[in-house]
């Protein structure tokens, strides 16, 4: 390794004593609470395959309080915890915490795609160390900076971890967009930027940051966060309004029927009988007699008026 120029490929015979150099000893307890969805379970499994430094734990009962997690971590010699919590078999929440005293973050996990999806064509070594790429926003905004530190320590694979591989073949990107953190995992095909997605992919919507692990004062809270249940409720309410509007309009329309939808020619029914000419003559006579009547009426009216004037 000392001779330059550098060989970019390590010979496969070269052995490295990993344990001696293993400084950054992170252990992450990755587990779920009961009531998790199958897709979310697969997502958790994918994360586990990508994290050789994980410890697993059986599903946690919902009757327990969250502070129990700290004891679990202590028993498993873990200093980090990733807890997946499913609600209503629909929504997934993820807690990321530094076990004994550190901060903890609660995220809502949205749009999760697992590694099993066929459109993700990339692949990487199991346990190779990912490059962690963060958006520039993580530098500027304090709470994002804290989240970045937690994510780096949990998802980043420690150097010289016994189960890790000494090659760099994938990269995680964390991008802050639309008030959420978007996670992607790409395989490095070529070192000049050829990429192929491995998965999983998900979006983390940060909800709260606590000072202690699973307890403590709230350091940051997302005021724009709306819980998915509430969101669904609002959509339903909007639907209700639509229904009511439609029914009202229907009733209104029925109560005011259209009077003259089409202008009929009133003489049209002449043609409905076999001898139209006869009928037409009848009509003509009628109309003439009507006109006569009207004339007579008018004359009478005029006469009456004149009489009244004279009387005055």
Partner 1 sequence: MMDFEMRSSDSEGYDESDEELQEAFARGDLKPGLNIELVKEKIDVNDIPRILAKHEEIELKLPWIERLDMYNDLAPLAPELALQLERHEQKRANQFKGNAKIPYVRPEEDPVLNDFKREMLFHRQAQAAVVEGIRRLHELNIPTKRPDDYFAEMAKTDEHMQKVRANLMAKEQGQAKSERIRQIREQRKMGKMLAKQTKVQREMEKKEMLDQLKKFRKGKLKNLDFLEDTKANAKASAASKKKSAAKRKARDQHYGFGGKKRGLKRNTKASSAGLERNTKGLLGNKGGRKGGAAAKRPGKARRQKNKAKAKGK
Residue 245 binds partner 1 (CB under 8 A): no
Burial class (CB in 10 A: 0-12, 13-18, 19+), 29: buried
CB 204 within 8 A of CB 224: no
The only residue of 188, 204, 205, 206 in contact with partner 1, by rule CB under 8 A: 188
Q: Given candidates 44, 81, 84, 85, which one binds partner 1 under the rule CB under 8 A? A: 85
Binding residue for partner 1, selected from 136, 238, 258, 261, defined by CB under 8 A: 136
Q: Are 155 and 131 in contact (CB under 8 A)?
A: no
Helix (H) or strand (E) holding 194: strand 194-197
Closest separation between CB of residue 272 and partner 1, Å?
7
d(CA 204, CA 189): 27
- Binder to partner 1 among 94, 108, 109, 124 (CB under 8 A)? 124
Binding track over 9-28 against partner 1, x by CB under 8 A:
xxxx----------xx----
When asked if residue 102 is in the footprint of partner 1 (CB under 8 A), the reply is yes
Stretch that binds partner 1, among 213-221, 235-243, 246-254, 290-298 (CB under 8 A): 213-221
d(CA 93, CA 83): 8
Binding positions for partner 1, 29-48, rule CB under 8 A: 33, 35
Chain centroid to CA 260: 51
Decide: helix, strand or coil at residue 92: strand
Instruction: Determine the length of the chain.
Output: 312
- The residue (of 1 and 258) whose beta carbon lies closer to partner 1 is 1
**Which residues 281-310 are close enough to bind partner 1 by CB under 8 A?**
none
Chain center to CA of 279: 73
Assess 167 for contact with partner 1 (CB under 8 A).
Answer: yes
List, in sequence order, every residue forming a beta bridge with 109; answer none if it has no partner: 92, 204
Nearest 5°: CA angle at 308, between 305 and 312?
A: 140
Least distance to partner 1, CB of residue 223, Å = 4
The one among 59, 71, 75, 177 contacting partner 1 by CB under 8 A: 177
- Asked whether position 207 contacts partner 1 by CB under 8 A, the answer is no
């Amino acid at each position: 390794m000392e001779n330059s120029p550098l060989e970019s490929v390590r010979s496969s015979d070269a052995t490295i004593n990993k344990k001696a150099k293993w400084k950054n000893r992170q252990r992450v307890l990755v587990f779920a609470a009961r009531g998790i969805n199958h897709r979310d379970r697969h997502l958790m499994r994918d994360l586990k395959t990508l994290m050789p430094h994980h410890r697993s734990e059986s599903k946690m009962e919902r009757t327990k309080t969250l502070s129990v997690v700290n004891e679990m971590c202590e028993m498993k010699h873990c200093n980090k915890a990733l807890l997946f919590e499913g609600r209503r078999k629909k929504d997934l929440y993820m807690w990321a915490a530094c076990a004994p005293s550190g901060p903890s973050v609660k995220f809502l996990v949205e749009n999760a795609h697992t590694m099993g999806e066929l459109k993700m064509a990339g692949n990487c070594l199991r346990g190779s160390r990912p490059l962690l790429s963060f958006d520039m926003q993580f530098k500027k905004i304090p709470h994002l900076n804290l989240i970045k530190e937690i994510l780096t320590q949990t998802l980043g694979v420690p150097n010289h971890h016994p189960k890790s591989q000494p090659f760099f073949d994938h990269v995680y990107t964390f991008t802050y967009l639309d008030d959420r953190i978007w996670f992607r995992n790409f395989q490095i095909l070529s070192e000049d930027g050829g990429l192929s997605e491995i998965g999983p992919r998900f979006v983390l919507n940060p909800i709260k940051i606590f000072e202690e692990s699973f307890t403590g004062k709230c350091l940051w809270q997302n005021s724009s966060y709306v819980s998915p249940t509430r969101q669904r409720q609002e959509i339903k309410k909007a639907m209700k309004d639509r229904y009511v509007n439609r029914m009202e309009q229907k009733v209104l329309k029925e109560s005011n029927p259209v009077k003259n939808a089409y202008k009929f020619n009133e003489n049209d029914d002449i043609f409905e009988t076999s001898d139209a000419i006869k009928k037409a003559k009848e009509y003509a006579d009628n109309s003439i007699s009507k006109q006569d009547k009207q004339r007579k009426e008018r004359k009478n009216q005029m006469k009456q008026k004149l009489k009244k004037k004279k009387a005055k």
